[in-house]
Amino acid sequence: MIRAELTKLLRNRRTWGTIAIINALPTLVAVLLAITDLGPRPGTGPAFLAAVLTDGTLFPLAALAMVLPLFLPIAVALTAGEAIAGEAQQGTLRYLLVRPVGRTRLLVAKLVAVMAFVVVTVLVVAVVAYVVGVALLGDQTVTVTGPTTSVSGTPMSTPELVGRTALAFGYAMLCMLGVAAVALFLSTLARTPLGAAMGAMTLLVASTLLLTLDAAQALHPYLLTRHWLAFVDLFRDPIRWDDVVRGVLVQGAYVVVFLGAAWASFTTKDITD
């Protein structure tokens, strides 16, 4: 079933269209930076963006920081929101279930497919950003193996940088799993895929808005998007773990609660579409 879901995902033109759109923003930013040479001053603007002017190889991280708050979660909400509701609307859900595919199995396969989509998207973003970064912004340390500086300003060796980058991408993946869990749950409830995706996006927007509101201070630690950019802390020297750990716990809680709810809702649902 998982293989079938992955085939479906990879053979869908929309998957690749979405990935292309997600890549458009960092590429545009790189082009603008290269043309104008006007980066944000160090310490301001999006994470890593100041650094990329001197080192294009850091651009994948800057690109991740750009797509993580908005583009990627919207794409995940759309993909996961469609998982069950889309099959239901198309009428293919009933044929999958009488094939038979167990409901729990189908839910797991859908989640795996959504995460595969995230992995593919993030990898494409990283590769494209690396190529674009090196080509347009240059590798000013001359050798790729040369020392890079951490966000704290101290030098960082390449193996260390690779390790921390892997951690950062893993963390981003967990954040997207949280969004996927919420959207998948809504997808088992909604009649249309758009309804499910809109529901998940509403939660994202609400969470982002509440984070700017001081009156909602008490809620902040529990909001879905609160710790998403904590991956930047992985590039400090020494690494600041506290926000990252809190982020992992919050995302984990969202994943467990909403996947549990999705399972409970889907396995007891009357399929009448």
Partner 1 sequence: MSSSASVIRTDGLTKKFGRVTAVDAVGLDVREGDVYGFLGANGSGKTTTVRMLLGLVLATSGSIEVLGEPMPASGRDVLTRVGALVEGPAAYPHLSGRANLALLDSAGPDGPRRTRDRRIEESLERVGLAQVDRRPVRAYSLGMRQRLGLAGALLRRPRLLVLDEPTNGLDPQGINEIRRLLLELNREGTTVFLSSHLLGEIEQLCTRVGVLDGGRLVLQDEMDALRGPTGRTEVRTPDPARAREVLASITDVDVEPADDGLLVRGLDPADLNDRLVSAGVRVSGLAPERRRLEDVVLAATTSGTDRFGREGERP
Q: Verify binding: residue 3, partner 1, rule CB under 8 A.
A: yes
Cβ(85)–Cβ(49) below 8 Å? no
When the beta carbons of 117 and 169 are compared against partner 1, the nearer one is 117
Q: Verify binding: residue 13, partner 1, rule CB under 8 A.
A: yes
Contacts (CB under 8 A) with partner 1, residues 65-94 = 90-92, 94
| Three-state SS annotation for the chain | CHHHHHHHHHCCHHHHHHHHHHHHHHHHHHHHHHHHCCCCCCCCCCCCHHHHCCEHHHHHHHHHHHHCCCHHHHHHHHHHHHHHHHHHHHCHHHHHHCCCCCHHHHHHHHHHHHHHHHHHHHHHHHHHHHHHHHHHHCECCCCCCCCEECCCCCEECHHHHHHHHHHHHHHHHHHHHHHHHHHHHHHHHCCCHHHHHHHHHHHHHHHHHHHCCHHHCCCHHHCCCCCHHHHHHHHCCCCCHHHHHHHHHHHHHHHHHHHHHHHHHHHCCCCCC
Q: Verify binding: residue 12, partner 1, rule CB under 8 A.
A: yes
Q: Verify binding: residue 191, partner 1, rule CB under 8 A.
A: no
Dihedral sign for Cα 27, 28, 31, 32, please.
Answer: negative
CB of 56 to partner 1, least distance (A): 38
Q: Which stretch binds partner 1 (CB under 8 A): 47-55, 67-75, 99-107, 169-177?
A: 99-107
- Terminal-to-terminal C-alpha distance of the chain: 21
The footprint of partner 1 on this chain (CB under 8 A) covers a number of residues equal to: 24
When the beta carbons of 5 and 233 are compared against partner 1, the nearer one is 5
Q: Verify binding: residue 189, partner 1, rule CB under 8 A.
A: no
Contacting partner 1 (CB under 8 A), which of 36, 44, 143, 268? 268
When the beta carbons of 12 and 54 are compared against partner 1, the nearer one is 12
CB of 91 to partner 1, least distance (A): 3
CB of 269 to partner 1, least distance (A): 8
Q: Verify binding: residue 104, partner 1, rule CB under 8 A.
A: no
Q: Verify binding: residue 101, partner 1, rule CB under 8 A.
A: yes
Contacting partner 1 (CB under 8 A), which of 100, 153, 159, 238? 100
Dihedral sign for Cα 259, 234, 67, 20, please.
Answer: negative
Q: Verify binding: residue 41, partner 1, rule CB under 8 A.
A: no
Contacting partner 1 (CB under 8 A), which of 98, 142, 215, 218? 98
How is residue 220 written in tokens? 């902040």
CB of 50 to partner 1, least distance (A): 43
When the beta carbons of 27 and 188 are compared against partner 1, the nearer one is 188
- What is the Cα gyration radius of the chain? 20
Q: Verify binding: residue 192, partner 1, rule CB under 8 A.
A: no
Contacting partner 1 (CB under 8 A), which of 96, 125, 184, 224? 96
Residues at the interface with partner 1 (CB under 8 A): 1, 3-4, 7-8, 11-13, 90-92, 94-102, 268, 270-272
